[in-house]
Every structure is written in structure tokens, then in C-alpha cells.
Amino acid sequence: MASDTRTREHDSLTRKTTGIVSSASKETRPLRQFFTKFNNDWAMTFSGALAYSLLTAMLPIAIAIVAIVGLVIPGETVLNALHGIPGLSGAQQDLFVSVTKRLNASAGFLVVIAVVLAIFGGSRLFIAIEGSMDIIYRVRPRTFFWQNLIAIGMMIVFAILTPIMIFASTLPSLVLNIIANNPALKTIPFLSTLASNGFMVQIAGYAGGLIAAFLLFEAIYMVVPNQKINLRNSWQGAIVAAVLLEAFIILFPVYTSRFMNSYTGQIGFAIVLLAFFYYFAVILLLGAEVNAYFFEGVQPLPNNLATFVSTMGARLNKDRPEAESSHHINPQPTEKADDRHIEDAVENDNDTANHGNTTADTAQHGNSRSQQKPVAQPASYQPVGKKKRLATTKPGKVSTAISIVAGSALTVLIETLRLRRGK
């Protein structure tokens, strides 16, 4: 009797544990699929390429911004905003000197040529971003003309939007300083309390920076990918990227002081700048992955990008080298997915042929059947060969947003620790 009781208790506990594990696996599957897509798309690798593109495009972008916005705002005011980015304030003086030398060395028509070349050089950054977005969204690249036209247009928009973002991020502090230095405004109790509260000034600055970052990411996510993306399917990734960027800007000085304090001089500054751009690119692509997977329905590749391309390319061209090493990633997920695709294509072709034959027979005997009363098909009727699409239950918006932010932060943290161990 006691043995039977223990057995029943053990079986009950086993069923409960299995149920909990199964439920947890089901609930976390979207997040695990998202991490798989992020890794298989080589987002971290492309982030390194984008970091280098950002580094090389920094001077052309600065020239374009100073030249375009300098018609309204002094160029030095724009470049002084670099002091507001932790870890990049050392770039302000060298960058300002380089930009002013380039523009002062030119005169008249040469200034126009210098600005045009700067816009073209800076637009290469957006071509690199579009290449990464093409892989993330599974879309084909634009043609040469449209690709360059969109990149140059984004470069001009970026040059105009940057001062607006800077103004948005500094506006709270500016308004509070005006209140603090104006005796008439200080007589108002609410404004006086607000101006004397340093914590409120800091929070307002963070809020302004968050809005500015959101505008930047939203513009990139809606325009750069080679597909029509509306605001409804892009603002979530822009918010995730903006929040992570603000957190990164706050924590980046701590990172440089703890892990990069041994780098000094111009070389050290270049390394710090490259690290900043690298994590900025990670955040940029992470937000795009959020939009693509959770809101555009783009599924992960069966294998990582290199394995997928080499496997499919070798199948199509039949040119896999015989001397290939036996030590490689298992390509079976890609091969099985390709086999299923071929089977579905053959089945659809057969269904189409059968449907065509049925249509011909129906037309041939149409006169004899025209007198018969048509039979209404039930609501659940499906043509032969066409598979029903399984209805997918989407999680709630709040839980999805929390999962995305938590998962994105965890992804950045894990990758940072991995890079630290690799050094």
C-alpha cells in the first residue's frame, strides 16, 4: 500500500514537472527563435562591418552636416554636441579642425564639390546598413540607381535630422536653465522647484535623448530596408533600440574606464571610438531584428548564414569541393528544409494540373450539369492540395514588449561577456 502511494505521488510529481517544462518551453519558444534568427543572420559580424563604415564615414558626415546646417546654425555649435556623447568628447576638437580645414581650403564652386563628395562618401554608410537589412528582412537589394538614391537621400535627411535630435536632447536642460536665470519665472512655485531640482534636469535630459534616438532609429527602420514598412510594424524595434542606446551611452564611460583604460593616444582613441560604433551597430541591427521577427513574421534561417549559403549554392551549382574538410557545421537543417520545399512545390504542381483537368471536364459537361442545382460548399471547405494555415496565437503586447526588451538586453550582455573572454 505504501509503495503504491509513493508510486502514485512520484507519477503525479513527474507529470506536473513535465507539464511545467513543456509550458515553459512553449512560452519561451518565440524568444528562443528570435535569438536563433539574430545569430543565424550574422548580426554581430555585420555589426563589426558597420562599425568600420561608421568610423570611415564620420568625417564626410560631419562635413555634410556643417555645410548643410551651417546655413542656419553655426557649425561649431553642431560639433560641440559631441561633448554630450560619453567617450566621444575627445573627437570634437580634431573633428572640428578637420572639417573647417576642408571647407576653408575650398572656395566658391569647390565648396559645392566638397559637400557633394562628402554626401556621397557618407551615403556609403547607408548602403552598408541596407545590405544588413536585406538579410534581416529576406528582401533583394535595390538596383544600383535606387540604392544610391535612397542612400544619398538618407544622408541628407540624417544631416538635417541630427541637429534636430541634438536640440531635442538638450532642450530640457536649456529650458530649465532659462527658468533658473530668469527672476520672473522663478517666482512661479512649480517652475522654481523644477529648476532647482538637479535630478529632474537629468531625467529630462535622458527623456530628450530617448526621443532623439527614437527618431533616428525610426527613420532608418522605415526607409532603409527594401520593402514598405509602416509605423505600426517599426516603432517597437525603434523603442527597444532607443532604450538600449540610452542605457549604453550611460554605461559606456564605465566600460571604457574598467576595460579600456590601457589604451592611450590617438590609437587608443580610435579603439574606443570603434568600440562605441560597434555596440551602436549591434543595437541598430537588434532593433531591426525585433521588427522583422515579431512584427513582419520573418523566420530564422535553418543554419547560420555561411552554412545556408554554401549548402544551397553547392546544391544549385553542384560545385561542392571534394576536398572540403569533414569538420564543418551540420547542414542537415538546411538540406531538410530544401527537400520539404521541393516536395511542396511538386505537390502544388500536381494539384494545379489536377485542378486544370477537372476544370476542363466541367466545361465539357457544362450543358448537362447546368440544369442541376449547385450544391453550396460548407464554410470549412478547402480545395484539394491546399494546406490550411495554422492559426497562431500571438502573445499580448505588454508581455511581448517586456520579453523583447529583456531578451535584447540579455543578448547584448552575453555577447559583451563573450568578447571579453575572447581577448
pLDDT digit string, tens, across residues 385-401: 444 333 344 445 555 55
Quote the percentage of the chain above a pLDDT of 70: 58
Distance CA 261, CA 255 (A): 9
In this structure, of 42-56, 243-257, 271-285, 347-361, the range with the lowest mean pLDDT score is 347-361
Tell me the one-letter amino acid at 81: A
User: Which residues, 6 or more positions from 171, have their beta carbon under 8 angstroms from its beta carbon?
Assistant: 208
DSSP state of 378: P
List, in sequence order, the alpha helices (H) in 318-396. 332-364, 366-369
- Is the pLDDT at 327 greater than 90? The verdict is no
Pairwise CA distance, residues 99 & 106, whole Å: 11
**Which cell numbers in the block locate residue 271?**
579603439
Does the predicted TM-score (pTM) go above 0.75? no
Whole-angstrom CA distances from 151 to 52, 121, 287 are 17, 10, 20
Per-residue pLDDT, 253:
77
What is the rounded distance in angstroms from the CA atom of residue 408 to the CA atom of residue 241? 9
Report which listed range, 21-25, 236-240, 353-357, 368-372, is most confident.
236-240
Q: Of 215, 217, 201, nearest to 284 (Cα)?
A: 217
CB neighbour list of residue 220: distance below 8 Å, 6 or more residues apart: 129, 154, 284
Q: Which residue, among 190, 184, 167, has the nearest Cα to 81 in the 3D structure?
A: 167
Q: What contacts 252, CB < 8 A, 6 or more positions away?
A: 86, 87, 276, 279
How confident is the model over 212-267, as pLDDT tens digits? 889 889 999 999 999 999 999 999 999 999 999 888 888 887 777 777 666 666 67
User: How far apart are the C-alpha atoms of 292 and 41, rounded to whole Å?
Assistant: 12
Residue type, 193: T
Q: pLDDT grade, residue 384 (50/70/90)?
A: very low
Helices (H), 224-324: 235-259, 265-290, 305-317
Does residue 232 contact residue 277 with C-beta atoms inside 8 Å? Answer: no
